[in-house]
């Protein structure tokens, strides 16, 4: 399988200029600094994925007017990455009219003005960074959730065409429907472009990676710890009394490395059929999970992705319930850092 050279082991910078608690200059100036990028490089990683919310760059009441103070944070991150020999992915995590966590409010796929604003942002990115080399990559949109892939196929092709009108060779990352699921990648239309990479996110089994997550109604009050690896007996009593849980988080057999391998198969099949490059843009385990189990899961997934030549970026660098470092940028678990920074087995 073709590798995504220069993007084999990385980390997400969630919570900085995306999914932030408070949109303040104090937060944006301090959450991620040059010292953080230097630390990531010291781990042996080769890239970062930078989630970006459009509101940092454009106000809803001033569409198509781009904020230099917002772009300055992106510019700074790119500059720091250059200094410490890290590559960078610019991930539009939230777009005008779309966010993966506000599904009932989304209008992007039905509102032409929102689509023009979305395309406009990508043209602004393309023009601003057209002189950068392959160390800088664009990711069109984070975690699409649609009834099917029809409208996303149409909009993503428009975005690629508009970027190409400015920058012919920039690597562009496209993800599938249903939160970048491996199971929807085959629905993506074929685009005749040799500089595309296809991304998926991996948090399986969800009952393990998101156990006791406060934002998950069926998991926040989970009455037991979920280990990894584990067997079917761990869940049976709970599943027996909660049919909704069973339907949302189906489970059977042993959860182990071979289970993870089986869940990667749709992505591998897609890559073989399309002769495509794959990238795992997010993976991780919530801090609530048992510490030893968390290490074992990360090791098994990382080893498999390395085996298949698939680059990856762990979620997430700082805080965000999946931390590599605490609020003061102090490493939470050195063994975890070693696992997620590996580039070869």
Give tens-digit pLDDT for 6-50.
999 999 999 999 999 999 999 999 999 999 999 999 999 999 999
Tell me what percent of the residues of the chain surpass a pLDDT of 70.
97
pLDDT value of position 16: 98
* pTM score: 0.96
pLDDT at 230 over 90: no
Q: What is the CA radius of gyration of the chain?
A: 20
In a domain, 238, yes or no: no
For the domain that residue 164 is a member of, what is the CATH number? 3.20.20.80
pLDDT value of position 238: 61
Q: Domain range holding 318?
A: 9-229+257-340
CA dist 181 and 155 (Å) reads 18
Check if the beta carbon of residue 238 is closer than 8 Å to that of residue 223. Answer: yes
The predicted model gives 74-100 an average pLDDT of 97
∠ Cα 59 61 65 (to 5°): 55
CA distance between the termini of the chain:
16
Read off the pLDDT band of 104 (50, 70, 90). confident
Check if the beta carbon of residue 98 is closer than 8 Å to that of residue 114. Answer: yes
The predicted model gives 247-266 an average pLDDT of 86
In a domain, 240, yes or no: no
The predicted model gives 84-106 an average pLDDT of 93
pLDDT value of position 42: 98
The number of distinct structural domains making up the chain is 1
| Enzyme catalytic residues | 143, 282
Tell me what percent of the residues of the chain surpass a pLDDT of 90.
85
Check if the beta carbon of residue 179 is closer than 8 Å to that of residue 143. Answer: yes
The predicted model gives 135-143 an average pLDDT of 97
In a domain, 252, yes or no: no
pLDDT value of position 345: 72
pLDDT value of position 233: 74
CA dist 263 and 267 (Å) reads 9
In a domain, 315, yes or no: yes
CA dist 61 and 83 (Å) reads 36
The predicted model gives 204-220 an average pLDDT of 92
Residue 175 pairs in a beta bridge with: 199
In a domain, 236, yes or no: no
pLDDT value of position 207: 87
In a domain, 50, yes or no: yes
User: For residue 1, with 0-12 CB atoms within 10 Å meaning exposed, 13-18 middle and 19 or more buried, which class applies?
Assistant: middle
pLDDT at 241 over 80: no
In a domain, 242, yes or no: no
pLDDT at 117 over 90: yes
The predicted model gives 186-197 an average pLDDT of 96
pLDDT value of position 316: 97
The rounded Cα 304 to chain-centroid distance in angstroms is: 18
Residue 89 DSSP SS3? strand
Write the pLDDT tens digit of every residue in 150-184: 999 999 999 999 999 999 999 999 999 999 999 99
331 vs 250, higher pLDDT: 331
pLDDT value of position 235: 66
pLDDT value of position 195: 97
Write the pLDDT tens digit of every residue in 277-329: 999 999 999 999 999 999 999 999 999 999 999 999 999 999 999 999 999 99
In a domain, 210, yes or no: yes
pLDDT value of position 182: 97
Averaged pLDDT score across all residues of the chain: 94
Check if the beta carbon of residue 42 is closer than 8 Å to that of residue 315. Answer: no
Residue 326 DSSP SS3? coil
């Amino acid at each position: 399988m073709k590798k995504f050279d220069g993007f084999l082991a990385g980390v997400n910078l969630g919570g900085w200029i995306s999914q932030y608690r408070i949109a303040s200059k104090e937060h944006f100036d301090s959450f991620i600094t040059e010292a953080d990028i230097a630390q990531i490089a010291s781990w042996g990683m080769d890239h970062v994925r930078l989630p970006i919310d459009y509101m940092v760059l454009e106000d809803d009441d001033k569409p198509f007017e781009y904020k230099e103070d917002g772009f300055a944070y992106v510019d700074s991150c790119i500059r720091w990455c250059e200094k410490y020999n890290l590559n960078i992915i610019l991930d539009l995590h939230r777009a005008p009219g779309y966010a993966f966590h506000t599904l009932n409010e989304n209008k992007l796929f039905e509102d032409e003005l929102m689509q023009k604003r979305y395309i406009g942002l990508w043209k602004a990115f393309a023009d601003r960074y057209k002189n950068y080399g392959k160390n800088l990559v664009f990711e069109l949109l984070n975690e699409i959730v649609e009834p099917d892939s029809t409208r996303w196929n149409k909009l993503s092709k428009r975005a690629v065409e508009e970027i190409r009108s400015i920058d012919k060779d920039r690597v562009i990352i496209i993800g599938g429907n249903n939160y970048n699921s491996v199971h929807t990648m085959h629905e993506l239309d074929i685009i005749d472009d040799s500089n595309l990479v296809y991304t998926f996110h991996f948090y399986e089994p969800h009952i393990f990676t998101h156990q006791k997550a406060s934002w998950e109604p069926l998991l926040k009050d989970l009455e037991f710890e979920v280990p990894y690896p584990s067997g079917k007996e761990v869940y049976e009593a709970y599943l027996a009394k909660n049919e909704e849980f069973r339907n949302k988080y189906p489970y059977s057999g042993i959860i182990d490395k071979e289970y993870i391998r089986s869940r990667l198969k749709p992505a591998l099949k897609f890559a073989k059929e399309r002769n495509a490059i794959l990238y795992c843009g997010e993976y991780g385990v919530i801090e609530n999970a048992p510490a030893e189990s968390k290490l074992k899961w990360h090791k098994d997934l990382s080893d498999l992705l390395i085996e298949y030549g698939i680059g990856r970026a762990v979620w997430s660098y700082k805080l965000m319930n999946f931390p590599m470092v605490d609020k003061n940028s102090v490493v939470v678990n050195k063994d975890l850092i070693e696992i997620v920074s590996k580039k070869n087995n």
